[in-house]
Amino acid sequence: AQSVAQPEDQVNVAEGNPLTVKCTYSVSGNPYLFWYVQYPNRGLQFLLKYITGDNLVKGSYGFEAEFNKSQTSFHLKKPSALVSDSALYFCAVRDAANQAGTALIFGKGTTLSVSS
């Protein structure tokens, strides 16, 4: 069965410092991996996805994520955090062996808090 783990409920960083939000996954086939961000009282916004190819994926708002197949991880990173990055972040996976149109499996979310 597919699953996603976000091992940290909360990540605290100071503005200007690099940030990492961790995600590990479990699928039977090749994974398609996604990161979303949710600001208070808003829907989820798509940040980036990994399908195939380069292990470093660049996305919106300066975020990037590194796919590591051997560690089954897809950590979200940003070189210099902003206070406005404070939000709830979700990692999600779809197994490439699944049929089209089936659901994303989401992690429980990680709250990122960036202090000034």
Partner 1 sequence: DAGITQSPRHKVTETGTPVTLRCHQTENHRYMYWYRQDPGHGLRLIHYSYGVKDTDKGEVSDGYSVSRSKTEDFLLTLESATSSQTSVYFCAISDAGGRQETQYFGPGTRLLVL
Q: Which residues bind partner 1 (CB under 8 A)?
A: 4, 32, 34, 36, 41-46, 49, 51, 90, 92, 94, 96, 98-104, 106-109
Q: Which residues of 17-32 are buried (b: 16+ CB within 10 A; e: fewer)?
A: eebebbbbbebeeebb
**Which residue, 69 or 108, has its beta carbon nearer to partner 1?**
108
- C-alpha span between 36 and 24 (Å, rounded): 15
3-state secondary structure 51-112: CCCCCEEECHHHCEEEEECCCCEEEEEECCCCHHHCEEEEEEEEECCCCCCCCCEECCCEEE
**Which residue, 72 or 98, has its beta carbon nearer to partner 1?**
98
- Least Cβ distance, residue 19 to partner 1 (angstroms): 20
**Which residue, 78 or 94, has its beta carbon nearer to partner 1?**
94
- Least Cβ distance, residue 102 to partner 1 (angstroms): 7
- Least Cβ distance, residue 7 to partner 1 (angstroms): 13
- Least Cβ distance, residue 79 to partner 1 (angstroms): 24
**Which residue, 18 or 46, has its beta carbon nearer to partner 1?**
46
Please say whether the beta carbons of 89 and 34 come within 8 A.
Answer: no
